[in-house]
Amino acid sequence: MMSKDKKTVLTLDAGGTNFVFSAICDNEEIVEPVRLKAVTTDTEGCLATLVQGFTTVKEQLKEEPVAISFAFPGPADYEHGVIGDLPNFPSFRGGVPLGPYLENVFGIPVFINNDGNLFAYGEALAGALPRVNKALEEAGGKRRYKNMVGVTLGTGFGCGVVIDQVLLTGDNGCGGDTWCTRNGMYPFVIAEESVSIRAVRRVYAEMSHEDASQLTPKDICDIADGKRPGNVKAAKESFRQLGQVTAAALVNVLNIVDGIVVIGGGVAGAAHHILPGMMEEFARPVGTFSGHLMPTLQSEVYNFEDPEQRAAFLEDKDTYVKVPHTNKEVLYCSQRKVAIMVSELGASKAINLGAYNFALKKIEG
């Protein structure tokens, strides 16, 4: 359940270009965000920028904040607040205890996590998961979902898992990581090489024989939609392949987590071109040595953004069956269903809400 606590938490959206500082109370942003240029190559400069940003936000507050909580891109020792060797932040090479440093400066707990994790947590508490359950309730359905896989598609392939309101972090802080899983198209390459902005550009350039280095995902999406000159077939295929490899990675995740999937991030604006590739991969059968074919997933996946598939997902076909030799009946959920949907919150808001609620959960125990 999303916290309704009136405590205030300082937050940060840490990108490779800008640091955007803010504060949240009762799940609402309560200050004008402070935007500062990211410092990625100088440790002291980066630390000074972080202190400046949080200090400026804190000065806008009427109440003292109870914590600082934010996402930092890439692998790190989040439990101990140590940021290590990140490609986009060479200033942290060798390991910098960023969390303890900020705790010493501001005198309050500091929580740092992966952006994919906090995206999933925010969506599970305040976004896609409540949206699905509300739709099921309004449709008269008996089911309610508790588990969520959140995927961010952008510079890289982010992912987080929430199981019954508990964020899966893992013993090594790697819970939910899918970016380094095997690529469904190129088995000896990591999935992120086909699930990222650079992947969209690469496929478009290979198929169109054009220079795509200056094209954004929106540019390529506009080409696919016929709104901008370019190779329409190559543009559509670049997103279809991204969807295919995303789903190939998620198949194994869903067979373990068994829940709703939500996608967000900078590339999610092209979801209408990505989702068909994902659904195609989810429907791909696998076989046994005897030649028997079976679905890759035990549950059927529905595209929640498609009206017909959404209606089929919401349709309640669960029945009651009689207990032998008694007058009792029990519910029989004969269909296994999961849905894939696009974030309505947007990645930035979902991450901030995830950071806020994660901090309060840690403080409250």
Q: What is the pLDDT of residues 186-225, one digit of tens each?
A: 999 999 999 999 999 999 999 999 999 999 999 999 999 9
pLDDT at 174: 85
pLDDT at 235: 97
pLDDT at 124: 97
pLDDT at 3: 56
pLDDT at 36: 94
d(CA 137, CA 7): 31
**Which residues, at least 6 apart from 18, have a Cβ–Cβ distance to it below 8 Å?**
35, 36, 37, 38
* Number of residues assigned to the chain: 365
Token pair, residue 236, equals 């559509």
**H-helix or E-strand spanning residue 220:** helix 217-224
Please name each of the domains of the chain with its CATH number.
8-113 (3.30.420.40), 128-344 (3.30.420.40)
Q: Name the pTM for this structure.
A: 0.92
Which residues in the chain come in under a pLDDT of 50? Answer: none
pLDDT at 293: 93
Helix axes 347-364, 115-126, angle to 10 degrees: 90
Q: What is the pLDDT of residues 109-145, one digit of tens each?
A: 999 998 899 999 999 999 999 999 999 999 998 899 9
